[in-house]
Structure 1
């Protein structure tokens, strides 16, 4: 996890805030560093984590996690981390290979169904976070990287939003845990379905971390800009959301944040 980001968010692995839906949004840049942060943060906090990884392999996340001081293999072995490797599950389903747990439907069963729905994926999340022994952990967490992939695989916007609604009701409300979702977006995109999903999620999020590429293009000392949007209006009608804007630079084992125009390279 990144200590500076924790400071900006007022977060601590010793006191994880329960019941929050966090949306990670990126435009013209790669916001995956935020996924790695929250994965390591909640594992260090002692939470039970269900990680639906649709973009990269387990080995990729494991290598990055090691740099951040977290061992994903050990977390899996002790039952703290439930990892769904979406890439492998898709191939197993398409080519009809045997599943790791015979008799259990694939979480990505919607790929072969018409009309498609994400009920099997929700059941996977529910069973993973409600399994016996889960109460021994600090709290349940659903981490999804990234939601846009499900649209590309054929899921409808309505099915996606229904899935997120039920996950939020289960994890945030019933189990008093947290949900963290990454989604790609572009204000200039012609993908209306993706933008519909992004805008809908923004309206229902407690916290939005929006990573954007610089409007001026590539810079070796400033990799992007991040908006931290706290949805105060969800709890207090008529109140304005709190918005903070920082620029950042990604390093090998850390991410540094600074006010716009105050990069050490510029000063």
Structure 2
């Protein structure tokens, strides 16, 4: 589990190539042993870059991507944000893979987070 990829890039003096090499190594190692690699990245750090190579490469390697963001409609008292979950590793049993996209709303509580489909809870 890697808590923040963007900090690794800072530690590597801005070299995304070194971070990508490390990620490829971790990905290969975890796949070899049947494990999962979980990494957190802050998308907003790359918002001003023209070519966010690191984030694109991470999206390419990922089987599941989870993106947390504010609601497009703005702030609300009963919903704090939205999760978009893209599962790229769904197999139909015939050797074909397909992508599955789900959207959830969430509400942050004192010691937990509630997740629900849009429009079902508030």
Task: Give 1:226 deviation, angstroms.
Answer: 0.5
Pairing 1:254–2:112 present:
yes
The 1:233/1:159 distance shift into structure 2, 3 A limit, reads farther
1:208 is aligned, of 65, 70, 78, to 65
Q: Which residue of 1 aligns with 2:24?
A: 165
Instruction: Give the aligned length.
Output: 119
SS in 2 for 1:167: helix
Task: Determine which structure has the larger strand proportion and give its number.
Answer: 2
Task: Give 1:250 deviation, angstroms.
Answer: 1.2
Task: Give 1:202 deviation, angstroms.
Answer: 0.7
For residues 260 and 183 of structure 1, the distance between their equivalents in structure 2, rounded to whole angstroms, comes to 25
For residues 229 and 164 of structure 1, the distance between their equivalents in structure 2, rounded to whole angstroms, comes to 20
Q: Which residue of 2 aligns with 1:231?
A: 88
Q: Normalising by the residue count of structure 1, what TM-score does the alignment of the two structures yield? A: 0.40
The 1:238/1:176 distance shift into structure 2, 3 A limit, reads closer
SS in 2 for 1:180: coil
Structure 2 unaligned residues grouped into runs of 5+: none
Q: Which residue of 1 aligns with 2:8?
A: 150
For residues 95 and 62 of structure 2, the distance between their equivalents in structure 1, rounded to whole angstroms, comes to 15
For residues 192 and 237 of structure 1, the distance between their equivalents in structure 2, rounded to whole angstroms, comes to 37
Q: Encode CA deviations 1:26-70: one digit per residue, 9 max, x unaligned.
A: xxxxxxxxxxxxxxxxxxxxxxxxxxxxxxxxxxxxxxxxxxxxx
For residues 57 and 95 of structure 2, the distance between their equivalents in structure 1, rounded to whole angstroms, comes to 18
For residues 262 and 239 of structure 1, the distance between their equivalents in structure 2, rounded to whole angstroms, comes to 30
Q: Normalising by the residue count of structure 2, what TM-score does the alignment of the two structures yield? A: 0.82
SS in 2 for 1:160: helix
For residues 152 and 231 of structure 1, the distance between their equivalents in structure 2, rounded to whole angstroms, comes to 29
Q: Which gives a bigger RCO, structure 1 or 2 (Cα 8 Å, sep 6+)?
A: 1
Task: Give 1:239 deviation, angstroms.
Answer: 4.0
Query: Which runs of structure 2 are paired with 1:93-108 in the superposition (5 Å)?
Result: none
For residues 62 and 87 of structure 2, the distance between their equivalents in structure 1, rounded to whole angstroms, comes to 9
Aligned CA RMSD, in angstroms, stands at 2.5
Task: Determine which structure has the larger helix proportion and give its number.
Answer: 1
Contact 2:105 2:118 in 1 (8 A): yes
Query: Which runs of structure 2 are paired with 1:1-267 in the superposition (5 Å)?
Result: 143-153=1-11, 154-173=13-32, 175-186=33-44, 189-192=47-50, 195-232=52-89, 239-264=97-122
